[in-house]
A and B are shown apart, each in its own frame.
Chain A
Amino acid sequence: MKRLSLSQAFWFLLRRDLLLAFRNRSEMANPLLFFVLVITLFPLAIGAEPNLLARIAPGIIWVAALLASMLSLDGIFRSDFDDGTLEQMLLSAHPVPVLVLAKVTAHWLVTGLPLLLVAPLLAMMLGLDEDAYGILLLTILLGTPVLSLIGSIGVALTVGLRKGGIILSLLVLPLYVPVLIFSSSAIDVAASGLPATAQISMMLAFLFLALSLSPVATAAALKMSMS
């Protein structure tokens, strides 16, 4: 029997990770819950000032999304590292970057996509200008995969350390900043009725850059962590 084609292996691993996530769904709901909680706390703390809330809504939503993504990062490779399946993945005859991409995709589907679904609701609660909803969704759609992809490099570098949590944040946060700046700026601009084409183009560029480079970097980092 021939070994699976590359795309078959990709889909297989993606399905496996989704199945595992489904079986651990309470754990997987954590980032989403965090995202919702942080955002709902802001109006309580700031008080009923609709204008102020609407003004800072893009920032709140994106900072919360960023932290929620960081919260879940370690899960990309942790359990696989602990039970030895990561070892087997690196020994597979398939190119490791493709397998890494499958795992990161699964991670994004489980932790990033739900943010996209609840974001409009939270934006409404904060009183964000209605014109900006489309751009808000677009920035989350383009931005959260970038966060997962960049984060996977950091996790791969720190997965072999027993207490890699703080190093992970230090490694990954600076790389998250451009995404944060451009996405909140895009929503800001859209809320004031101007086109956000420039920011969206930059975010698309980030996404393609991360898609093409980060799986390779992650695979190399994993090999380093394992040896």
Chain B
Amino acid sequence: MSALLQTRDLCCVKDDRVLFEGMNLALKAGQILLVEGKNGSGKTSLLRILTGLSLPESGDVLWQGRPISEVGADYYEQVNYVGHHDGIKRDLTCLENLRLVQAMGKPLPIDLDDALEKVNLYRFGDNYVATLSAGQKRRLALARLVVTEAQLWIMDEPFTSLDKASMAMFQEMFEQHLEKGGVIVLTSHHDIEMPQSDVVRLNLSE
């Protein structure tokens, strides 16, 4: 089976420091890429290059064999990105935020209350996000994975401020996504054990 997401001779330079160069990756459906490394080793930079938010110094990111700049909207439709920032509005309620997420992406036919239940935020639908705790906000940010359909999930430290139970819940969700032929790229300082899945590890510090 050919690779879905590929990088070709990827090089990233930040403030005259080479973070990584000549990076060639290939991820097939059902694979998860764990990006590891010290602080400042370029994990977030790599993720942002993969999403197309930043441009690499040189090299290409390919989706199904074509550079993402060429694929354009069809690529963005396939990507779900959860960054450092939660990407949710404080002055909107949880439900309003999820509706916005759906409007901007490719919505899944799921009841939004069920979606909230899936991330343990049932009963919080009409609460303003400003009233939620940090962990609850993170869960709401990750709820975008439940309400929109995308094959590629890219996540930057998804488990920040999450408790152990929530972490386990999301890892299970990741496993299901991989079983369905999805691809995941994530960075995390937490130990991630997903024995059932095809895990590729990449250490940027080496």
Distance of A181 Cα from B140 Cα, bound (Å): 49
Say whether B106 contacts A1, CB under 8 Å: yes
**B-contact bits for A214-227, CB 8 A (1 contact / 0 none):** 00000000010011
**A-contact bits for B166-205, CB 8 A (1 contact / 0 none):** 0000000000000000000000000000000000000000
Question: Given known contacts A87-B85, A227-B48, is B104 in contact with A94 (CB within 8 Å)?
Answer: yes
Q: Indicate whether A23 reaches chain B with its CB closer than 8 angstroms.
A: yes
Q: Most B CB atoms within 10 A — which of A4, A13, A83, A94?
A: A83
Residues of A with C-beta under 8 A to B55 = 227
Residues of A with C-beta under 8 A to B86 = 83-84
Q: Which residue of A has the minimal Cβ distance to B137?
A: A83
Q: Indicate whether A44 reaches chain B with its CB closer than 8 angstroms.
A: no
Q: Indicate whether B83 reaches chain A with its CB closer than 8 angstroms.
A: yes
Q: Which residue of B has the minimal Cβ distance to A4?
A: B103
Partner of B79, one of A12, A13, A91, A227: A91
Q: Indicate whether A209 reaches chain B with its CB closer than 8 angstroms.
A: no
Residues of B with C-beta under 8 A to A227 = 48, 53-55
Question: Given known contacts A83-B89, A87-B53, is B79 in contact with A9 (CB within 8 Å)?
Answer: no
Q: Indicate whether A117 reaches chain B with its CB closer than 8 angstroms.
A: no
**B-contact bits for A1-40, CB 8 A (1 contact / 0 none):** 1111000110011001001100110000000000000000
Residues of A with C-beta under 8 A to B53 = 87, 90-91, 223, 226-227
Say whether B51 contacts A84, CB under 8 Å: no
Distance of A10 Cα from B190 Cα, bound (Å): 39
Say whether A88 contacts B87, CB under 8 Å: yes
Count the B residues whose beta carbon is within 8 Å of the partner chain — how many? 34
Question: Given known contacts A92-B76, A93-B76, A95-B73, is B88 in contact with A85 (CB within 8 Å)?
Answer: yes
Residues of A with C-beta under 8 A to B74 = 93
State how many angstroms separate the Cβ of A222 from the closest Cβ of chain B: 10
**A-contact bits for B40-60, CB 8 A (1 contact / 0 none):** 000000001001111100000
Distance of A79 Cα from B91 Cα, bound (Å): 11
Distance of A1 Cα from B73 Cα, bound (Å): 17
Q: Most B CB atoms within 10 A — which of A20, A23, A79, A87?
A: A87
Q: Indicate whether A109 reaches chain B with its CB closer than 8 angstroms.
A: no
Q: Indicate whether A138 reaches chain B with its CB closer than 8 angstroms.
A: no
Residues of B with C-beta under 8 A to A91 = 51-53, 76, 79, 81
Q: Indicate whether B107 reaches chain A with its CB closer than 8 angstroms.
A: yes
Q: Which chain A residues (91-148) contact chain B, with CB distance < 8 Å?
A: 91-95
A-B contact pairs, 26 of them (CB 8 A): A1-B106, A3-B107, A9-B104, A13-B103, A16-B92, A16-B100, A20-B91, A23-B91, A83-B87, A84-B87, A85-B100, A87-B53, A87-B83, A87-B85, A87-B87, A88-B101, A88-B104, A91-B51, A93-B74, A93-B104, A93-B106, A94-B104, A95-B73, A223-B53, A226-B54, A227-B55
